[in-house]
Structures are given as structure tokens and as C-alpha cells.
Amino acid sequence: MEGKKQQQLFQRAWWLALISILYNILEGGISTYFGIDDETLALFGFGMDSFVEVISGLGIAHLYWRLRKHNIAQRDRFEVTALKVTGTAFYLLTVSLVLGASFQLWQQKHPVTTLSGIIIAILSILTMYFLYQHKLSVGRKLNSAPIIADAKCTLTCFRLSLVLLISSLLYEWLHLPYIDAAGSLVIAWFAYKEGKEAFQKARTGALSCGCKD
């Protein structure tokens, strides 16, 4: 591949990483606001997950910036630190959601509405699918394992959005008090898995994502 074309593709990958960061900041702010306002733990947890993804995204953007200049085989100190902070934040989120869901079930609390969760989840599904397709396309053109791995990790956010959509739709239709708590527990499970993967990547320093298709 010509050097100029390669640089353009790496530049595109870097911009995709920045879009991911900015979108997660926006999504996190809106989701946590409506999560508190509508008293839906699943939406609040989804928003907090987005904020943690911002930390992870900074490490990924830094990685892409280094890939533009030369081939690399290991993560540097900044990326490893970002992974450790990300993993810790995901574990804290997991504990918080489990405790919150337990309290919600015990007190028989339920959301005012989950309409905001439905709208946010649909927008997130569309955005994550867009990012997945474009990251995968760039990764394949460059034959870059780190970029392909990151694209596959975006599928986790896509699946998380599906969880929010399903739980929000079910509550809006059925109004059963435990549905929101159940959705937040599934989000907690995803957060635990992401935290575990972040620490694994920090420990090995490998560029692979460790996410499943």
C-alpha cells in the first residue's frame, strides 16, 4: 500500500476514535441526566458505562496516533494506565449497579418512564453499528490487527445498547417493577466483563482486544 494512502487510513481510524470519545461523552451526559430524572437505573448505568468508555477511548486514540508513525507491538505506559483505570471504573460500576438493583427490588421502586431509554438506545445502536463498520473497513484495508480488534470491541457497546432497548421497551409496555432492575444487572455483567478484559490487556500489553465476535 502506498505511504500516502496508508497515512490517510490511519488518519481516518484516529478520527473514528475521536468520534467515539465525543459521542460517549454526549451519550453519558444525556443518559445519566434522564436516568436520574426518570428514576431508571438501567439508563443511568448505561450512561456511566459510556463515561468509562471515554477513558478507554483516550487510550485507543493514543494507540492510533502511534500507529500512524510506525509499527508497534506493545502498548505504552499511557495506554496501560488507561486500561487499568478503565478496568477499575468498570468494576466499581458493576458493584454500584448490583447494589442499586438490589435496593430497587427490595424497595419495589420503578421508573417514571423508560421512553428516554428507548430513544437513546436506538440512537446508540445506529451510531455503534456505523463505527463498527467503518473501523472494520479501515482495519481490513490496513491489515491492522489492533484496529480490527477495536472494531470488534465496538460490538460490545452495540449489544449493551440492545440490552437497554429491550429492557426499556419491556418496561414501557408491561410496567413490571423488576424489569429495570434486571436490565441494570445485565449491564453490570457487561461492565464486569469489560473490566476483566481491560486488566487482561494491561497485564499482557498485547494489542489484541480480547473481545468475542
Q: pLDDT tens digits for 97-113?
A: 999 999 988 988 889 99
Q: pLDDT tens digits for 109-158?
A: 889 999 999 999 999 999 999 999 999 999 898 887 778 888 888 888 99
User: Whole-prediction pTM value?
Assistant: 0.88
Alpha-carbon distance values, 42 to 22, 36, 81, 160, 197 (Å): 22, 10, 28, 10, 22
* Pairwise CA distance, residues 29 & 183, whole Å: 19
Domain carrying residue 132: 3-204
Please tell me the total count of domains within the chain: 1
Segments in the chain forming alpha helices (H): 3-37, 41-69, 77-107, 115-142, 145-174, 178-204
Burial class (CB in 10 A: 0-12, 13-18, 19+), 114: buried
- The sign of the CA dihedral 72, 78, 81, 83 is negative
- 211 in any annotated domain: no
- 7 in any annotated domain: yes
- 210 in any annotated domain: no
Q: For residues 185-202, give the mean pLDDT.
A: 91
- 80 in any annotated domain: yes
- 209 in any annotated domain: no
Q: For residues 208-212, give the mean pLDDT.
A: 52
